[in-house]
């Protein structure tokens, strides 16, 4: 399945200042598939080493970290000489071997002619704990679960996707096209963006099979909690992880530590939240008091919401049944619109926003997301139903007079002065404004 990050890999390949590339992302978001596809299509020679499947490969890095010697030893292991010309070397699952991570520094300094990509499921965690991390010596990319745009492409809807990218936001789609996209969106909300889940459904059209894969992915995450953290920390991580769907299902989605454990303190779980963020499993939106540039400078980091990195996995944790896909509005409104707000959070992250923020006032008005595009700040209100109520947006507008007010809802495209209603399936277009 085609991924948007592929184009960034092409740019990296052709960059004369290219460094070894570190590909980050949660487990099973498709890192291995993407780099393998890229290596085989764009290079004459492709060298793949998986350090989790074959831990003994780490011994090639223990004697010396001279990149030329490492490449020579890899060639001896594979039975063929490895030349830098038109060759991509891919070190996969390197979180199991710290020496491999350290070697990237020397590939950059001593042998920059080699095209090298390294990947691992918990490299975000390693960045924080590895004293030998090659700071400043690598390029970074992060792969997320598939966005709704990537889902449409996988479903052979490139034509309608192209139309979305060039859409005049003031003109509605023909209703039949709008309803078709809402149907796709409901299916995406159930399946999510994990490539294996989506590929299985496209191949077999079997919802039960897709849900089984989702459950297996969730179990693999739970195993990671105990595999890569101390026992006491693993317990806290599991406790907090399990409460996220329930917290999102509340009308007020602000995260409460007391929902994790009675009388729990924030200080007891700060490390847990940071671990889940670095593992790529959650997205955190922080409350701001004033929508001013830069947004992080006005954030209250004690007040936040936590979203899962994949809406399909959220549905699996909440045990949402597949019959909701057939209902015109149930999946949108279920659990107080938890799926919709979570979906918008993932779409914003996928479209390039590194941090998420929301605004709340003392008078109980709240805008679900606030984003910064260049020197402009826009409020985004998320509606799971067809209500035209925009009380919070109006309150925000009266205080701060933004150039554009966005509402994301199941309604069609409309514009009334500053106010723009974007259909939920077009959430990614906010980035282009």
pLDDT tens-digit readout, 379-415: 999 998 777 677 889 899 999 999 999 999 999 999 9
Quote the pLDDT of residue 267: 86
CB atoms within 10 A of CB 354: 8
pLDDT band at 420; cut points 50, 70, 90: very high
Report whether pLDDT(294) > 70. Answer: yes
**% the chain with pLDDT above 70:** 97
Q: Where in the chain are the domains?
A: 5-142, 148-432
Separation in Å, CA 294 to CA 48, 93, 238, 350, 351: 42, 36, 34, 20, 19
Q: Say whether pLDDT at 263 is over 80.
A: yes
Mean pLDDT check: name the lowest of 177-181, 347-351, 392-396, 421-425. Answer: 392-396
CB 371 within 8 A of CB 380: yes
Q: What is the mean pLDDT of residues 344-348?
A: 98
Q: Are 309 and 144 in contact (CB under 8 A)?
A: yes
Contact 414/173 with Cβ under 8 angstroms?
no
Q: Which of 27-36, 189-198, 264-273, 365-374 has the lowest mean pLDDT?
A: 264-273
Element (H, E) at 420: strand 419-423
* pTM score: 0.93
Six-digit token string for 321: 């049944």
Model confidence band, residue 293 (pLDDT cutoffs 50, 70, 90): very high
Task: Describe the strand order of the beta sheet including 115-119 as a list of residue ranges.
Answer: 45-50, 87-92, 115-119, 21-24, 139-142
Q: pLDDT value at position 311?
A: 95
- Per-residue burial over 257-285, b if 16 or more Cβ lie within 10 Å, else e, is beebeeebeeeebeebbebbbbbbbbbbb
pLDDT at 131: 47
Summary mean pLDDT of the chain: 92
**Is 128 a residue whose pLDDT tops 50?**
no
136 sits in the region (left: phi over 0; alpha: psi -120 to 50; else beta) called: left
- Residues 178-220: pLDDT tens digits? 999 999 999 999 999 999 999 999 999 999 999 999 999 999 9
124 pLDDT tier (thresholds 50, 70, 90) = low
- Name the fold adopted by 5-142: Rossmann fold (3.40.50)
b/e map 299-335, b = 16+ CB within 10 Å:
beeeebbbbbbbbbbbbbbbebeeebbeeeeebbbbb
246 by Cβ neighbours in 10 Å (0-12 / 13-18 / 19+) ranks as middle
- Residues with Cβ within 8 Å of residue 147, at least 6 apart in sequence: 4, 193, 346, 347, 350, 351, 428
Q: Is the model's pLDDT at 244 over the cut of 70?
A: yes
Give pLDDT, residue 70.
94
Predicted local distance difference test score (pLDDT) of residue 57? 93
Does 126 have pLDDT greater than 90?
no
Q: Is the per-residue pLDDT at 127 higher than 60?
A: no
Distance CA(77)–CA(266), nearest Å, equals 50
Instruction: Please give the residue that has the higher pLDDT: either 323 or 133.
Output: 323
Report the SS3 class of residue 370: strand
Task: Please tell me the distance from the alpha carbon of residue 219 to that of residue 103, in angstroms, as a whole number.
Answer: 32
């Amino acid at each position: 399945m085609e991924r948007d990050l592929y184009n960034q890999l092409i740019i990296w390949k052709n960059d004369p200042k290219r460094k070894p590339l570190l590909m980050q992302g949660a487990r099973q978001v498709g890192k291995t598939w993407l780099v393998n596809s890229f290596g085989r299509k764009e290079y004459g020679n492709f060298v793949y080493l998986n350090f989790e499947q074959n831990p003994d490969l780490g011994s090639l890095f223990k004697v010396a970290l001279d990149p030329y010697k490492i490449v020579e030893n890899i060639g001896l292991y594979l039975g063929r000489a490895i030349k830098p010309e038109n060759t991509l070397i891919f070190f996969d699952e390197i979180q199991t071997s710290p020496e491999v991570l350290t070697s990237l520094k020397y590939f950059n300094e001593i042998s920059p002619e080699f095209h090298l990509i390294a990947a691992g499921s918990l490299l975000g965690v390693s960045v924080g704990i590895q004293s030998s991390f090659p700071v400043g010596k690598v390029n970074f990319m992060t792969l997320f679960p598939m966005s709704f745009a990537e889902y449409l492409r996988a479903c052979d809807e490139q034509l309608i996707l192209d139309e979305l990218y060039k859409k005049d936001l003031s003109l509605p789609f023909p209703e039949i096209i709008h309803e078709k996209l809402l149907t796709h969106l409901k299916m995406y909300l159930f399946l999510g963006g994990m490539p294996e889940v989506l590929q299985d459904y496209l191949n077999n059209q079997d919802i039960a099979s897709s849900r089984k894969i989702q459950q297996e992915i969730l179990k693999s995450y739970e195993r990671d909690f105990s595999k890569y953290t101390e026992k006491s920390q693993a317990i806290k991580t599991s406790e907090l992880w399990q409460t996220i769907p329930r917290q999102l299902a509340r009308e007020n989605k602000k995260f409460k530590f007391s929902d994790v454990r009675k009388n729990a303190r924030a200080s007891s779980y700060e490390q847990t939240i940071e671990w889940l963020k670095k593992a790529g499993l959650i997205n955190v939106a922080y409350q701001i008091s004033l929508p001013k540039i830069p947004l992080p400078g006005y954030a209250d980091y004690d007040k936040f919401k936590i979203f899962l990195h994949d809406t399909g996995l959220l549905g699996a944790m909440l045990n949402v049944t597949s019959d909701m896909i057939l209902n015109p509005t149930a999946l949108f409104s279920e659990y107080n619109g938890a799926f919709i707000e979570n979906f918008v959070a993932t779409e914003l992250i996928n479209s390039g926003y590194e941090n998420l923020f929301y605004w709340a006032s003392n008078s109980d008005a709240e805008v679900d997301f606030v984003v910064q595009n260049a020197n402009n700040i826009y409020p985004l209100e998320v509606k799971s139903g067809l209500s035209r109520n925009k009380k919070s947006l109006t309150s925000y507008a009266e205080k701060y007079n933004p150039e554009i007010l966005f509402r994301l809802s199941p309604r069609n495209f409309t514009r009334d002065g500053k106010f723009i209603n974007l259909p939920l399936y077009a959430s990614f277009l906010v980035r282009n404004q």
